Chain A
Amino acid sequence: MTTKRSITVTVNGQQHQTEVEPRMLLVHYLREVLDLTGTHIGCNTSQCGACVVMLNGEAIKSCTVLAVQADGGEVLTIEGLAPEGGLHPIQEGFWEKHGLQCGFCTPGMIMASYQLLKNNPHPTETEIRRGLEGNICRCTGYQNIVKAVQDASERMSTSAETPVPAGD
């Protein structure tokens, strides 16, 4: 049996200190230790992007990161994207433009879009498609996801207050 390690991770603005097995994947830490089940596991080989969260301000695939690697870091998940009861403009865009069907890839897709718009607030269609190359959606054919990101981009540039949670 290996030695457990104590880690401190700030998730959605809240600090957690936990003893974990070193081999525990970040995605399992979020889902099973913190009960933040909005982040999903789709492929396990870092192709599909269902597990994308922000770690220290950058989108990552949480199925390919160990929880111990996030020690001392800040994580933002789909649950923390908008203040309680509200929606982030990207979430609104996905709703408005029918950017999801089964919804399983959606949290990862939204988090990938979050980084995409952070880096490039006014992306072209080509840039959006390229920016989402690490996320597989089996339902939508991506067309409405592209529209959703375009919609979010417009919302974010017209809205004075974009809810950005603490810790990001």
Chain B
Amino acid sequence: MLNIKLNPETNIYEPETKTRHRVATALLIVVFFILPFVLAHLGRTGVYWIWVTTEIIIMSLFAMSLNLILGFGGMVSFGHAAFFGVGAYTVALLMKKAAAPLLLALAAAPLMAAVAAVIIGWFCVRLTGLYFSILTLAFSQLLYMVAFQWYTFTGGDDGLHGVPRPDFLSPTNFYLFCLVIFLICVWLMRMLVNSSFGLTIRTIRENMDRAKFIGVNVRFYQWLNFIIAGAFAGLAGGLFAQLNRFAQTEFLHWSRSAEPILASLVGGMYSLMGPTVGSAFLMCLRIVLQQAHKGLVEYWAIILGLILLVMVLFAPGGLIGLVQKIIKKKNG
């Protein structure tokens, strides 16, 4: 799709096999499991921070799902919010109108998002480059408009409020629930990008013509990748609807599609965990600014724009790319 030229050094995703890395990862996971219990002792601010970290986890999942097609597939989608929104509305509608249990609704969310991705993707993968981007934007805005206009089904611009939450899901439990789902998804995605499927996807990104010459069914692989990314985004959307206890048209809006792109770019789109780093960084930055000075959040969009500008001009590899570069320099 869009021709993404890569720095050969950050080009190939190497599974971190070093023991040191494994220990660090395990420690990090343990910290994240303990975190809510520590925060719960801090009273109201603690609950607020549990909520924030839960949102970071969900938005990271969303960003990582986009990065499957953006960073690994080289397909720049401006309409990824479509699947996030479909997932959110699926959970909200099933739980509110059909009184479905949480797990059933959360299982339906990626499924419905995948169905949407099957249809939208079938059209979109026929196009390349800029045209692919514009068509994904058109489809997601189409869904946004439908949700906006269809009052009886989606509640129009009021959205769907008061999604029921099962009693056992206290903020801490919901955090843990999301964390477990997130880790499972990371594990799945990690297997995916290191499988032959993942290698094929990256081959297509690097050189579509050569991929065709060696007999790869390019469209089919891109379609499949698009559907998988859509399903993960749907799951993220479903969790987000449950976190906020509402679904609204804003979930489908183009500005929502921009968030995972920003996170991927800031974190680094050529690595699996880059989008997670980016999401967490942007979210924390926003809160830090909010704490530092209330008025600063007024200028959030400008600050975000300036960060993006600096990243595009000086560090297109993102934060992870920057760190890798520094480590490389250190080692000679």
Are these two chains actual partners, yes or no? no
